[in-house]
Structure 1
Amino acid sequence: MNVLIVGLGSIANKHISALKNINPDIKIYALRSSEDANSIEGITNLFSIIEIKVIQFRFAIISNPTYAHHQTIKELIPLNIPLFIEKPLLSKLDNGELVNLINKNTIITYVACNLRFLDCLQFTKNYITNERINEVNIYCGSYLPNWRPGRNYKKTYSANKDQGGGVHIDLIHEIDYAYWLFGKPKKVSKVFSSKSSLKINAFDYANYTLSYADFNTSIILNYFRRDPRRTLEIVLEKETILVDILKNMVYRDTELIFHSEKTIVDTYETQLRFFIDKIITEKSKLNIIDEAYEILEICLQND
């Protein structure tokens, strides 16, 4: 099986590791932006679309910077292969141009949001089925300078608005799993700002309210919390469910009712297996480009 990867950053390395677990004989090719790019053992560098066209690929993984996704996807459409697109889909809305182009060419797509495959969220989705929800609170806070040790955080794409950075889009996972759990909201309001001591030009704080027919969902995201916290609280009619995403645990009031030893890293392999078995083979429609664009609208519209 031949797989093409565009963008060899930290996320790509997680996908590569997962692919090798799935199929040790896999052949991985990387489309590089410069002929001076470093060589990585087990990966064949390619430098142009012309080189790509002579190889039969099972699918492509797009994991380059978000601002480059639009152009990359357009360039790969003529290959007529499935596209596994790392979140977020795009750095800005394009009035549905790319979605229409993908659908016109009947390209199989999947936009990666691996938290959907985390055990505690899978458990929670099943647990709340048919339960009356009164309120939802989602929180994700961590410290951007700790994300990439050894690098100046101010020079990373996350810190720079013109590179598609900002906590509101970097942590789109939280919006994605809210959409997955509760559906498309009827109304969205938001506040974005950059007022912290990080001193970056991208937004370092985002606060969303997603309004549903019977309840509201609050989502708070930030780059400046030194003690990481990632939680989902669901206030049901008779009890409150608290999901600790970092620990893969679920509490009912104060009682621990679910715990998995798996970590978020484990979801990368689960997600790729789902992509290969369900999206490519069975033509499942989970988080195809149309759905991912709706989630991007929640994230970005009128920002």
Structure 2
Amino acid sequence: MKVLIIGLGSIAKKHIEAIRKQISNVKIYALRTGSSVTASVYPNVINVFSFNEVEFETIDFVIISSPTSKHFEGINICNQLRKPLFIEKPLFSEITNKTEQLVKDVTLAQTKTYVACNLRFLDALKTLKNLVQDKRINEVNVYCGSYLPDWRPNADFRKVYSANKEMGGGVHIDLIHELDYIYWLFGKPVAHRSFCKSSSSLEISAIDYANFIWEYSTFTTSIVLNYYRRDAKRTIEIVTSEGTFLANLLENKIFYNGEVIFQSEQKISDTYDAQMKYFIDFITGSQTSFNTIEEANSILKLCIQD
């Protein structure tokens, strides 16, 4: 099997290792910016510096893991070549007429696509989805808060993408996972609104607090995201007519009325392996479509359009 990866940042390297766990004999190409003199080298990955260097007829699938602002270009070129696409979230950095047309073009071409939201593969969330399937839900509360300077301890957090509005960063985009899994659990809301701001002690230009309210026919979901909480917390609480489920995603546990009813040794990092296994099974025909470009575009609209 041959794979092309567009971009070779930290997330791309996670995908590379996940591929290698699924496929023993794989040839991986990385499309890089710059030149062969300045580009870094990753073990057993072949650097290329233009699409012209790639023999697309031999490529089995493409991973789009370039900066979000570059996704449009990569998706557009690869769609013309009808190659399956594994696209890192978020899908785009903005919604425009051009991105809307591209989504339509990809869908009409029947190009196989998956937009990577690996929390869908977390044991606690998969189990929770089954547990609440037939419950009468009254209220859902989602919270994800962590401390941005701790994300990359060896870098100046004010200079990274996440902290800079000008680079398309912001907690609402970085943590779109939370919006994604609520969409996965409950579908598209009938109404939605949001409040976002940047005024915390981090003093960054990007949005560092976001609160989304999604209304469903019988309940409302509140999703709170922030960059400034030092004691990280990532939870979803589902209040039903019979009792309350609380999933702690950092610990991969589920509580019901305060008692542990499920726990898993799986780490969030393990979900990258499960995600890649799904995608490879999908493009080889043994799995159905899941979080396609069309679905991910709907979620992105809920994220950045009020």
Same fold (TM over 0.5): yes
SS in 2 for 1:41: coil
Whether the aligned pair in 1 keeps the contact of 2:278 and 2:287 (CA below 8 Å) is no
**Partner Cα distance (1:43, 1:62) in 2:** 16
Whether the aligned pair in 2 keeps the contact of 1:65 and 1:163 (CA below 8 Å) is no
Identity of aligned residues (%): 51
Q: For residues 138-184 of structure 1, give each alpha carbon's deviation from its aligned partner in whole angstroms, at most 9, with x where no partner exists.
A: 00000011101211111111111222210011100000000000110
Matched AA of 2:69: Y
- TM-align CA RMSD: 1.2
Match of 1:144 among 145, 148, 158: 148
Whether the aligned pair in 2 keeps the contact of 1:279 and 1:285 (CA below 8 Å) is no
- Where in structure 2 are the equivalents of 1:238-277 lying within 5 Å? 238-277=242-281
Question: Are 1:8 and 2:12 an aligned pair?
Answer: no
Whether the aligned pair in 2 keeps the contact of 1:191 and 1:208 (CA below 8 Å) is yes
Runs of 5+ unmatched residues, structure 2: none
Matched AA of 1:115: L
Q: For residues 72-116 of structure 1, give each alpha carbon's deviation from its aligned partner in whole angstroms, at most 9, with x where no partner exists.
A: 211222221100001110111124122112123221110010100
**Partner Cα distance (1:53, 1:19) in 2:** 20
Matched AA of 1:142: S
Runs of 5+ unmatched residues, structure 1: none
**Partner Cα distance (1:6, 1:102) in 2:** 18
Match of 2:83 among 77, 81, 84: 81
**Partner Cα distance (2:194, 2:235) in 1:** 19
Q: For residues 40-86 of structure 1, give each alpha carbon's deviation from its aligned partner in whole angstroms, at most 9, with x where no partner exists.
A: 22100011111113561110111111111111211222221100001
Q: How many residues align?
A: 302
Whether the aligned pair in 2 keeps the contact of 1:7 and 1:31 (CA below 8 Å) is yes
When structure 1 is superposed on structure 2, of 39-48 and 101-110 the one drifting more is 101-110
Whether the aligned pair in 1 keeps the contact of 2:56 and 2:81 (CA below 8 Å) is no
| TM superposition shift of 1:26 | 1.1
| TM superposition shift of 1:229 | 0.3
The match for 1:167 is 171
**Partner Cα distance (2:75, 2:161) in 1:** 19
Whether the aligned pair in 2 keeps the contact of 1:62 and 1:85 (CA below 8 Å) is yes
Question: Are 1:210 and 2:214 an aligned pair?
Answer: yes
Match of 1:66 among 43, 65, 68: 68
SS in 1 for 2:58: coil
**Partner Cα distance (1:53, 1:92) in 2:** 31
Whether the aligned pair in 2 keeps the contact of 1:8 and 1:64 (CA below 8 Å) is yes
Taking structure 2 as the reference length, the TM-score comes to 0.96
Matched AA of 1:47: F
The match for 1:50 is 52
